[in-house]
Amino acid sequence: MREFMQQEEKRLEEVIRETKNRLLEMPEGTFFTSGCGKQIRWFYYSRGKCFTIRKADRKFARALAEKKFLQHRLKEEETELEAVHAYLRNSYDPENERFLQENPEIKRLLFDFPDPQDLGQSGSAGSTEDQIRHWAAADYRKSDIPFKGTLYKTLKGDLVKSAAERDIANALYLAGIPYRYECGISFDGGKSYIYPDFTIMHPMTGEIFLWEHFGMAELDYYRHKNANKMYVYFDHGYFPGRNLICTYASDTFSLTKSQIQETIAFYFN
* Mean per-residue pLDDT, 69-79: 88
Helix (H, G, I), strand (E, B) or coil at 233: helix
Amino acid at 130: D
| Per-residue pLDDT tens over the stretch 227-264 | 888 888 888 889 988 899 999 887 778 889 889 999 99
Tens digit of pLDDT for each residue in 193-206?
889 999 999 988 88
Beta bridge partners of 221: none
**Residues 162-194: tens digit of each pLDDT:** 899 999 999 999 888 999 999 998 887 777 888
Which among 239, 241, 7, 208 is positioned nearest to 108, based on CA atoms? 208
pLDDT at 58: 92
Q: How many CA atoms lie within 13 A of 38 on its CB side?
A: 0
pTM (whole model) above 0.75: no
What pLDDT, on a 0 to 100 scale, did the predictor assign at position 56? 92
Under 8 Å between Cβ of 234 and 241: no
- The confidence band for 121, taking pLDDT boundaries of 50, 70 and 90, is very low
Q: Is 223 left (phi over 0), alpha (psi -120 to 50) or beta?
A: alpha
